[in-house]
A and B are shown apart, each in its own frame.
Chain A
């Protein structure tokens, strides 16, 4: 029986090559896009779940309230985790990670910077599941000065040699013995690392005593990521409940002294990728994008399925006769349903196979696109395939069900007599509804793409209040080099292409120093957090930031070096200063509120965007401080001949005795990188939109060919009674245009609402959604839609009416 279904189905499909071709293309593209999006969504949704004990692992977080100001951090004080373990029996184990920063590692003549190395406790392998390829997980990180590498890093330094026991050197010639090699971390790890130094290394450097101290003051310095592994059948709540007494025992004494408090927070490991918005944390996933992309994947699939339904029902009229004959020949309704369903399932299966090939070929570019390194094994995941095949089956059955039930219900006597002819009124209405749904979706995506790209170009082109072009930023990493910053600067200025140079603690995009200071407000001084940047006298001029009131620092004003402060406009607004000049700010006081500097405001600068446009400009202050070392130097060039300017800078860099290789960044590029997520989202959305529109157009093309065929008679009759070719064209186009416009009317308000939400929630500085995007999307979809039906429509309108209106 099944064989006979398959045979007939295949025959039907090969007979109507054009339609089968359109259907398969639509399904293939739809399924391929769906599979890729599914892989992305699965990766996002499965973060850290590969750790066997993940449901018992919790990450600890800090909630500090210092002088009334609340801050939450993804890291906790160094002694927190071990002390919790000694106090609370629920904790089976813990592991801490301390960021090793940018490390220059060397083996023989191979050296390179490693940004993703951490110091970690030796317990890591008992808590997390990182399969060890070489070495003993129990002992690997016990000794000081040992290191465990990921497989790819081990390859990079040691190639074919056995890395175990080999020595890696850092920039200060510290030696690290390789004691283990683990598998590379999967893409779905929220804390990514390429290698681990033993935490005992830090202990050895700081002194065992100091590292392991549980002195109250050590709890008031934050510093490490910490994870606790709970015993079976225990709850993290128990620890939170008992924490107040822990606080009293270890932290209260200092807390009371500095008028501060602390509460412990935690997040289940698997939720860490999405939950919480903490300072000093790894980059987070965005659930919103997850939802958006899931929806987009589904949309694409729906559109492809609709194509099938549309074409199949349209074809139904032609097949009515086949059904009639089959019924007369004794076929039961059930058999007919099976027949049609197996046809659509076959088509979907063919689409699925091709889709898999497409996915396989596109996999590398897909990874670049989403900015995640996935493994090919992600493609062969059984779970994924169960979901994909399940969905494809549902799509196949759903798409086939309407034609199946509709066709099989034909009354054979009517069909054969020909009175069924072109009527099929019900299916006509359904078809229209389906086309409306397709365009609804497609237009939503077109508008979305336009608004997203508007917002992105807004971010890229917004006047940030400072010059970002032709600015080269370098980090002066080691202290000796930093102490020579001023000389380095003078040397650089001798080059004709270098217009200006300035050192500072912060540059736009990297102005992260926040500290509590005392601000004059009305008649009292209040404690508040301020963003601080220690600049050089020529910072303002180099960056071209405007002074709104007063002046910037001047070398010839002796007191500027110790007593002056410059604030931004937000500060003035926030503290309600009518006359900002002369207002006092007390910085650098000790826990007793003494010492430091009392600074007077000498100038107000405009609210330049010292950080990404994700964040609102906050109160910021600048003051001169010669004893604070300024780790960043900005060089402003005239933009001519950058290559030679750069090689000049590099030369000077080495002359200054910098210990590390020359590294620099163009400011505009590093600023752009802050919007990488949005950029990527934009690109993905763009591609998804093109795919959606394409599939919808393929559908229209197929549909228009059916409709033209189905309407041949009507067109002929209309022409006989006097319609001209333009009359007919208007008639046919109007019908489709109406459907597209209804789709537009449904899409517009929903999209407006959705995009407005997205802009409000993700950006402090966002464009206003404006009608041109909507107008463009509406007009474009009508135009492209009508173009895609033109071929068949024009042909039908010009068709021979004598053939259409057979006399007999």
Chain B
């Protein structure tokens, strides 16, 4: 599903040059659950941005679903992104002015799906996330866990093949965090590929494989033994 070859990202600000990712090569198969770990500033988020087609690498190649996407223009990336990738953020990134329902509905609107169909699908995922009774609430009226469940609902409503999660439990207490991890696990069981950045070893436990980044490079890869 994902294959990178010497993926490199360099940020230039004024005179400082930061190599956030340095020749990273790795792959993710369909249906995998991969955790990315490493100290702060080692390039985890940068990697997710590239995998999520939010940004282009400075050099290196990126194959997404057997197709080379490392040099696509934003318009084409947007097209691939909206039908194939869902995002979950540490700070939820919900739109405060929209209700839970409207937030979750957004990806479907941009996919051009009809209103009646949208309603059904949004209600379905909200039910799945246990958020249906909160559909008319605004994000600020919800607890952190509820916000993150809304964000997960939004990430999966378009039925993406890949979900990218950046510290999805970082802003949650352990109970809520576990709730969200169970949801992700569930999705993975149902066949969705997941790449998740985390600082929490217990979250990483959910993954089958963990990639450790240090200073923009992969240092180790642990594969959890199938029980």
Contacts and interface: CB of A to CB of B under 8 A. Distances in A.
Interface of A: 419, 421-423, 425, 428, 713-714, 716-725, 727, 801-802, 805-808
Contact of A423 (B74, B89, B93, B96): B96
6 contacts: A717-B95, A720-B81, A722-B83, A725-B74, A808-B167, A808-B170
Contacts of A807: 45, 48-49, 89-91, 166-167, 197
Interface stretch (B103-111, B123-131, B205-213): B103-111
B55 interface: yes
B75 interface: yes
B162 interface: no
B158 interface: yes
B10 interface: no
Contact of B110 (A714, A716, A721, A806): A721
A421 B95 contact: no
Contact of B95 (A425, A718, A722): A718
B54 A802 contact: yes
Nearest to B55: A802
B97 interface: yes
Contacts of B52: 720
B82 interface: yes
Contacts of A725: 74-75
Nearest to B111: A722
Contacts of A719: 78
Given A718-B106, A722-B78, A722-B111, A806 B96 contact: no
B47 to A, nearest CB: 11
A805 B90 contact: no
Given A425-B97, A721-B82, 18 more contacts: A423-B96, A714-B95, A717-B93, A717-B94, A717-B95, A718-B110, A720-B54, A720-B81, A721-B154, A722-B81, A722-B158, A802-B49, A802-B54, A806-B91, A807-B48, A808-B166, A808-B167, A808-B170
Contacts of B45: 807-808
B87 interface: yes
Nearest to B53: A720
B164 to A, nearest CB: 10
B107 A722 contact: yes
B140 interface: yes
B109 to A, nearest CB: 8
B95 A423 contact: no
Nearest to B197: A807
Contacts of B97: 423, 425, 428, 714
Nearest to B50: A802
A801 B54 contact: yes
Contact of A713 (B74, B75, B93, B197): B93
A721 B87 contact: yes
Contact of A721 (B90, B91, B106): B106
A722 B48 CA distance: 16
Contacts of B96: 421-423
Interface of B: 45, 48-49, 52, 54-55, 74-75, 78, 81-83, 87, 89-91, 93-97, 106-107, 110-111, 140, 154, 158, 166-167, 170, 197
Nearest to B139: A423
A-B interface, 10 closest residue pairs, ranked by CB to CB distance from nearest: A722-B82, A722-B110, A807-B45, A807-B166, A721-B107, A717-B93, A721-B106, A714-B95, A723-B110, A722-B107
Given A421-B96, A714-B97, A807-B45, A724 B90 contact: no
A719 B107 CA distance: 9
Contacts of B95: 714, 717-718
B93 A720 contact: yes
B78 A808 contact: no
B105 to A, nearest CB: 10
Count chain B CB atoms within 10 A of each CB in A716, A717, A719, A722 and give the residue with the most. Answer: A722
A724 B93 contact: no
Contacts of A727: 110
Contact of A808 (B74, B81, B91): B91
Which of A716, A720, A801 has the most CB atoms of chain B within a 10 A radius of its CB?
A: A720
Contacts of A428: 97
A543 B158 CA distance: 81
Contacts of A805: 54, 89, 93
A716 B107 CA distance: 13
A423 B166 CA distance: 24
Contacts of B166: 807-808
A721 to B, nearest CB: 4
Contacts of A423: 96-97, 140
Contacts of B89: 805, 807
A180 to B, nearest CB: 77
Contact of A722 (B75, B90, B106, B170): B106
A719 B54 CA distance: 9
A161 B94 CA distance: 87
B110 to A, nearest CB: 4
A719 B45 CA distance: 17
Contact of A724 (B54, B78, B83): B78
A179 B166 CA distance: 99
B41 to A, nearest CB: 11
B18 to A, nearest CB: 14
Contacts of B83: 722
A806 B81 CA distance: 18
A261 B49 CA distance: 98
A735 B2 CA distance: 40
B64 to A, nearest CB: 16
Contacts of A717: 93-95
Contacts of B93: 713, 716-717, 720, 805
B196 to A, nearest CB: 12
Contacts of A713: 93
B110 A720 contact: no
A720 B170 contact: no
A724 B110 contact: yes
A724 B75 contact: yes
A806 to B, nearest CB: 7
A24 B110 CA distance: 41
A717 to B, nearest CB: 5
Nearest to B112: A722
Nearest to A715: B95
Contacts of B91: 806-808
Nearest to B92: A717
B36 to A, nearest CB: 12
Contacts of B74: 725
A661 B209 CA distance: 109
A416 to B, nearest CB: 16
Nearest to B154: A721
A805 B167 CA distance: 14
A720 B87 contact: yes
Nearest to B40: A808
A722 B154 CA distance: 11
A808 B90 CA distance: 5
Contacts of B55: 802
B159 to A, nearest CB: 13
B98 to A, nearest CB: 9
A570 B177 CA distance: 93
Nearest to A721: B107
A135 to B, nearest CB: 78
A568 B52 CA distance: 87
A666 B107 CA distance: 73
B75 to A, nearest CB: 7
A546 B119 CA distance: 75
B1 to A, nearest CB: 19
Nearest to A804: B93
Contacts of B140: 419, 423
Contacts of B49: 802, 807
A718 B81 CA distance: 12
Most A C-beta atoms less than 10 A away, residue of B78, B94, B111 = B78
Contacts of A721: 82, 87, 106-107, 110, 154
Nearest to A428: B97
